[in-house]
Structure 1
Amino acid sequence: MATAVVELGAKESRNAGAARGVAILDFILRLVGIVATLASAIAMATTNESLPFFTQFIRFRAKYNDLPTFTFFVAANSVVCAYLVLSLALSIFHIIRSRAHNTRVVLIFFDTIILSLLTAGASAAAAIVHLAHKGNVQANWSAICQQYNSFCERVSGSLVGSFIGILVLMLLIVLSAVALSRQ
């Protein structure tokens, strides 16, 4: 009887250690997501390039806010970054109290909504970036990345950061679901 109690205590101790490890990984992933979405929003919001046209007084300019899709992309990444900063409090709470159940369900719910927002913004921007790189012959839209090379490089880099944020959010949802299933 005493050995059964000792074995049960050791098993609970291992489960608590694993739950704390999952909570620490959750915290680290949220920090990675903050960096990725913040860098993505900043990179896109500061993207602009001017090209001279015949004279130095007439210039063509490309800015992110010339396209509403890029404006939505910046807003989506900013909202996701702010959410991830706010969710750090619950992540710290889970490190302290690894058996919390209801707050994990809340995080899964909001993480899923935020994942949808970030995916919508990144997908819409990716479509515009594809048009900027390749153009569309049927619609008679020419590719602009030969002329606005710096603009296209920064926008493409910004997309990479956003897709890293998407991957992090997917991992967070799976991690929270695993943590709930272990309880």
Structure 2
Amino acid sequence: MDSKSISCETAINVSETESTKQKSSAAAAAAAATTVATTKAIPHNQKGGWRRGVAIFDFILRLCALVAALAAATTMATSEESLPLFTQFFQFEAGYDDLPALPYFVVANAIASAYLVLSLPFSIVGIVRPHLVGVKLLLSILDTVMVAFTTAAAAAATAIVYLAHYGNPTTQWRAICQQFGDFCQQVSGAVVASFIAAFILILLVVCSAVALRSH
């Protein structure tokens, strides 16, 4: 075998070795890129699932707040009791519209109920597309407004209910719950339901803040 054939075989072996190394390097780079992409995709998917879970919880809370606010408005609006004095034609009556803060209570909780009904489609959009920020921000602002609205109404009604139960000797305001027990029970239940609605709305604000912070 002469020197020319030896040098030719050496050149072929060297080129094959370099080609194999290049292929191995390319395969390793592709595998590393796939691993990195997979590593990035897993947390992204987990984050999207977590946001969807928060959106579902938001929808459930809205349904609960709707039930509480609607119960508060309807219970207060239907609270009325009559007591006959001597005959059925001469009676004492107690109704929610006899006390100034209670009609405002009914209106406030009715508005909160209407808002919660209108917010349900937006909450569903948040479940379908959990990465949307605008919907969550809008609901967070409106939820905050409803918290202030329902809390003010419940607080005003609480003051009236307290006077109805215990009266005020300084101003000669007599307690009426001894005579109108059913009326006071309905009014007290409506106030409790309104505070429950306000508390759930606070939870909705917190959920919206957590969802926005995750973005």
Structure 2 residue ranges without an equivalent (≥5)? 1-31
1:22 is aligned to 54
Query: What is the CA–CA distance in structure 2 between the aligned matches of 1:50 and 1:129, rounded to whole Å?
Result: 18
2:149 to 101, 109, 117: 117
1:92 is aligned to 124
CA offset digits 1:23-52 (Å, max 9, x no partner): 000000000011101111110101100011
Normalising to structure 2: TM-score of the pair?
A: 0.83
Compute the displacement of 1:53 (Å).
1.2
Matched, 1:134 2:163: no
2:81 to 49, 54, 65: 49
Structure 1 residue ranges without an equivalent (≥5)? none
Give the match's secondary structure for 1:49: strand
RMSD between aligned residues: 0.9
Superposition map of 1:1-183 within 5 A? 1=32, 2-183=34-215
Query: What is the CA–CA distance in structure 1 between the aligned matches of 2:61 and 2:126, rounded to whole Å?
Result: 14
Query: What is the CA–CA distance in structure 2 between the aligned matches of 1:167 and 1:140, rounded to whole Å?
Result: 34
Number of matched pairs: 183
Query: What is the CA–CA distance in structure 2 between the aligned matches of 1:7 and 1:67, rounded to whole Å?
Result: 64
Give the match's secondary structure for 1:145: coil
CA offset digits 1:73-107 (Å, max 9, x no partner): 00000000000000011100000000011111111
Give the match's secondary structure for 2:169: coil
AA aligned to 2:99 is: L
CA offset digits 1:103-123 (Å, max 9, x no partner): 111111111111111111111
- The alignment-based identity, stated in percent, is 49
Compute the displacement of 1:6 (Å).
1.1
Give the match's secondary structure for 1:5: helix
More divergent stretch after superposition (1-10 vs 104-113): 1-10
Q: Higher relative CO (CA 8 A, sep ≥ 6), structure 1 or 2?
A: 1
Query: What is the CA–CA distance in structure 1 between the aligned matches of 2:46 and 2:153, rounded to whole Å?
Result: 41
More divergent stretch after superposition (108-117 vs 51-60): 51-60
Normalising to structure 1: TM-score of the pair?
A: 0.97
Tell me which protein shows more helix as a share of its residues.
Answer: 2
